[in-house]
Structure 1
Amino acid sequence: MGIVAPALPAFAASFDVGVTAASFVISAFAFMRLAFAPVSGKLVSRFGERPLYVWGILIVAASTSACAFAESYWQLLVFRALGGTGSTMFTVSVVALLVRLAPPHLRGRASGLWATSFLLGNISGPIIGGFMVGFSLRLPFLTYGATLFIAAMVGWLMLRKSTLAAPDRDNTVPPLTVRQALHHRAYQASLLSNFSNGWAVYGVRVALVPLFVVEALRSTQAMAGVALSVFAVGNAAVLMISGRISDQRGRKPMVFGGLTISALGSAALGFSDSVPWLLACSLIAGVGAGLLNPAQNAAVADVVGAKGKGGPVLATFQMAADVGAIPDRGRHRGRGVVPDGLRRHRPDQRARAAGVAARPRDEVRGEGVGPGERGGGGRPPRRRP
């Protein structure tokens, strides 16, 4: 996921759309995850985690690869949205499997280990993706799709004969329903905290930080990738520690502390006026999210129980983050942002960004050059006293 984060807003903007439309490409993925989550929960309960795990990865791989060949904004939007269905199949099935396999006294650490492995990709992904953007906005999507096909094959090979991953056929224990789970205050609190985390991390941060770095700080898309990676580093640095403490001291301290630190780091991000300040705020917010994640997942696992028969319950928990990942988009005057690297792309890509990449640099950067202020023959714009 991290490898396309620096490229996705700029790739959408290269089709000559505004920032709101470019950000909606990210929201569409989250919206489809949200809409398909209840179906994924029922499918996991019916067919088991193993087949849903593999099929989910394959769907995301195919849809992401298709994004690389999008010839219009609407094609990119549809392909990206379709990937959300596979993504929710994968995440619900994986969490359900972890809940079923991890004993209660190790759930925090098991969740922290899984989240750490996930974030190792998020640490390296944005840096690699930011580097790839300099060559082609399509290259990160092709790389993402290829690695997912490999991951699906590896997962299938490792799980196909596993007795631990086999579907639980014990019908004496009825599955936990969402209505029953909502009677637990821990589950209610987990839904609220997951919504907050999804809004701040997966919605606002991923959608707007790359654009904020380019427009407000006048830096590069590669630096946007570094900022996202710094957030992931802070996150990964404390996941295992948080999981261990949540197993020993309880879930509440880590959830409360993580939300508080994440809120401070996210709020300070809005006051960033330099790249070092941006990176420092990203690190703090990452630490907060890292403290929150294992304890939050372990709390939901405690509610579901050792049998793990709660696909819809886990899907609803996941939906809370996806609702948060569809943030309000402020209106933005002017056209989309196209990085300087786009000018080195193929002529057909430059043509799609007509009115942006082809305009003078000071116009693209919004320095107040309006119609009629630039005369013929390359004269500089008229300046008022």
Structure 2
Amino acid sequence: MTSPASGSSAPPSDKLDAGVLKIASVVVLGAIMSILDVTVVSVALPTFMSEFQATYATVAWTMTAYTLALASVIPLTGWAADRFGTKRLYLLALVLFVAGSVLCSMAWDVQSLIAFRVVQGFGGGMLMPLGMTIMTRAAGPHRVGRVMAVLGIPMLLGPIGGPILGGWLIEAATWHWIFLINLPIGIVALIVAVAVLPKDAPSKSESFDFVGMLLLSPGLALFLFGVSSLPETGTVASPRVLVSGIIGLVLVAAFVVHALRAKHPLIDLYLFRNRQLTYAVLTMTVFAVAFFGAGLLFPSYFLQVRGETTLAAGLLLAPQGLGAMLTMPIAGRFVDRIGPGKIVLVGLTLIIAGMGVFTQVDVETAYPLLLGALFVMGMGMGCTMMPTMTAALQTLTDQSIARGSTLMNIVQQAAGSIGTATMSVILTSRVISPEGSPEGTSGQPDSDALAQLPPEMQQSVLGSLADAFGDTFLVATLIMVVALIPAALLPRTRTTRSTEESGAAAVMH
């Protein structure tokens, strides 16, 4: 029987040793590919529209399909990691992701591209929760904050590198290379993973929850499909939105009832007995709706309102990642010492301040002001996202970590999808296009049609579009303010597993 207080003078070692850093290199490579592919594709949507002669609403499914696949496969990851081992599953996820990337580069129409993005999403959906599990187990609970700071590197490189890389590849080569770039990275990640990741010690004691899988994965996918269809249909009353959403919610509700009774459920809902995890989940949910919802709007504002190229739009987004790069390592170090509560509150405040600037955007808002606001938001993100993840995982037992990281990733992906759909609906509902009839899709004016208008008419249309962006950013800002409520309940002192309230700690040993 081990005492949680043994050696209480200081943790064994706060620094991440060479072995943990080697494992981190593999995890970060995989996560970079997964996250880059979201941000790279975001700036490629106009290119897909012209390449495949498709509407914005149709090409948007190249992002939505990836997210749906991500959300569908994440619930399986916790059980599969326990059953087959994290190393084997991680290698499978890498292979699926790279294969999906190569297929995407070979797409012959928008429908095939959407289908191949699903394959890619199945691999990508497993990479982040598996990476969290592998890293947290390797480093131990007293270094979770530092681990999350390392795992935050892809979160930094995504906003910085994704749009820049995507814009450069599209302008210098072709759109195919935004997917082919994953091939060399994936091969390197596979080789290093085989050599570095610890051998698996899978547990074969738990039976697979087939009933839970048949309820939760389709339920999440249908609900997010309904929500993601909102920008295209423009109304909640649409059968595509309403029927999909209701069936999805019913299946998720049925899963909740089932999971509370099952011996080995797909997702252990009794983790919510841990109040710290519950507050972290609530904080992450509200934060992700606002932050990822608004995140989709930044490149669109620069592309549509300011007329920037894809490469320029990518470069303009770089300050957000640079701000996060500054604060994330510092936040990770302090979370392990003083707890996540204070840091998350500071982070949310910075995000609210930065996002508040974008509520006032117009056609001629000064770039230094906008870039400064993005930098401040990035600093806030560096103090918010990974410390919230840390708050959720740092009190869990080794047996609970895989399920806890799976739960947090489901929350993040689902909330992010809801946020992007919600912000898209608000934006398109506020846009006033020429002659009252939008030439583009999703209610947004087509650039070619806009160029045919007289200069004063162009300014009027762009002005109304800028106002629509400002109103949408206002909604995102207000939602972010709500995130302060659960964040205020996060611990403001160092937390160890000896303070765990979940009852799961007593199950093993």
TM-score with structure 1 setting the length? 0.79
Residue 2 (structure 1) aligns with: 36
SS in 2 for 1:63: helix
Is the aligned partner of 1:334 residue 2:426? no
8 Å Cα contact 2:96-2:123 kept in structure 1: yes
Change (3 A) 1:30 1:48: same
Task: Give 1:185's aligned amino acid.
Answer: R
Q: Do the aligned residues in 2 keep the contact of 1:109 with 1:294 (CA within 8 Å)?
A: no
Q: Does 1:281 align with 2:373?
A: yes
SS in 1 for 2:377: helix
Provide, for residues 334-359 of structure 1, a one-character-per-residue CA deviation record: whole Å limited to 9, x for no partner. Answer: 2269xxxxxxxxxxxxxxxxxx7887
SS of 2:201's equivalent in the other structure is coil
How far did 1:86 drift? 0.9
Deviations along 1:61-104, one digit per CA (max 9) or x if unpaired, are 22122222222222222222322211121111111112212233
Superposition pairs of residues 291-306 of structure 1, within 5 angstroms: 291-305=383-397
CA contact (8 A) 2:94 2:186 kept: yes
Structure-2 residue corresponding to 1:127: 164
Aligned equivalents of 2:355 and 2:118: distance in 1? 27
Q: CA deviation at 1:43?
A: 0.9
**For 2:91 and 2:184, how far apart are their aligned partners in 1?**
15
Q: Is the 8 A contact 2:84 2:203 kept in 1?
A: no
Correspondence list, 1:12-91, <5 A: 12-14=48-50, 15-91=52-128
For residues 183 and 288 of structure 2, what CA distance do their matches in structure 1 show? 24
1-side partners of 2:169 and 2:453: how far apart? Answer: 26
Tell me what 2:332 maps to: 243
Q: How far apart, CA to CA, are the structure 2 residues paired with 1:263 and 1:28?
A: 30
Match of 2:286 in 1: 196
Is contact 1:53–1:90 with CA below 8 Å preserved after alignment? Answer: yes
Secondary structure of the structure 2 residue equivalent to 1:304:
coil
Equivalences for 1:84-99 in 2 at 5 Å?
A: 84-99=121-136
Q: 1:342 is matched with which residue?
A: none
Aligned residues: 346
Contact 2:41 2:63 in 1 (8 A): no
1:231 aligns with 2:320: yes
What's the offset of the Cα at 1:132? 1.5
Alpha carbons 1:19, 1:336 under 8 Å: kept: yes
Question: How many Å apart are 1:325 and its aligned residue?
Answer: 2.0
Q: For 1:253-289, what per-residue CA distance to the aligned partner results, in whole angstroms no more than 9, with x for missing partners? A: 1122222222332342243334333322221111111
User: Which structure's residues are more often helix, by fraction?
Assistant: 2
The one of the two structures with greater contact order (alpha-carbon pairs below 8 A, sep at least 6) is 1
**CA contact under 8 A between 1:196 and 1:321: conserved in structure 2?**
no
Residue by residue over 1:118-145, the C-alpha shift from the partner in whole angstroms, topping out at 9 and shown as x without a partner, is 5346533432322122132222221134
The separation in 2 between residues aligned to 1:109 and 1:48, in whole angstroms, is 24
Given the superposition, is the C-alpha separation of residues 171 and 82 from structure 1 closer, same or farther in structure 2, using an over 3 Å criterion?
A: closer
**Does 1:141 pair with 2:172?**
no
Q: CA deviation at 1:191?
A: 1.4
SS at match of 2:106: coil
Q: Would the aligned equivalents of 1:238 and 1:291 in 2 still touch at CA under 8 Å?
A: yes
Deviation at residue 224 of structure 1 after TM alignment: 1.8
Shift of 1:60: 1.6
Give the aligned CA root-mean-square deviation in angstroms: 3.2
Identity of aligned residues (%): 20
Partner of 2:485: none
Structure 2: tracts of 5 or more residues without a match:
1-34, 207-262, 432-437, 460-509
- Equivalent in the alignment of 2:483: none
Output the CA distance in 2 between the equivalents of 1:234 and 1:117. Answer: 14
CA distance in 2, matches of 1:275, 1:28: 33
Please point out which of 256, 263, 266 is paired with 2:355.
Answer: 266
CA distance in 1 between counterparts of 2:112 and 2:453 reads 28
1:27 Cα deviation after fit:
2.5
Moved more, 11-20 or 69-78: 11-20
CA contact (8 A) 1:37 1:89 kept: yes
Secondary structure of 1:325's match? helix
Equivalent in the alignment of 1:317: 408
8 Å contact from structure 1 (residues 123, 230) kept in 2: yes
Say if 2:182 is the partner of 1:153: no
Residues 44, 166 of structure 2: 8 Å contact kept:
no
Greater alpha carbon shift after TM alignment, 249-258 vs 123-132? 123-132
SS at match of 1:113: helix
Q: Is contact 1:217-1:274 (8 Å) kept?
A: no
The offset of 1:168, in angstroms, is 5.8
Counterpart residue type for residue 175 of structure 2 = L
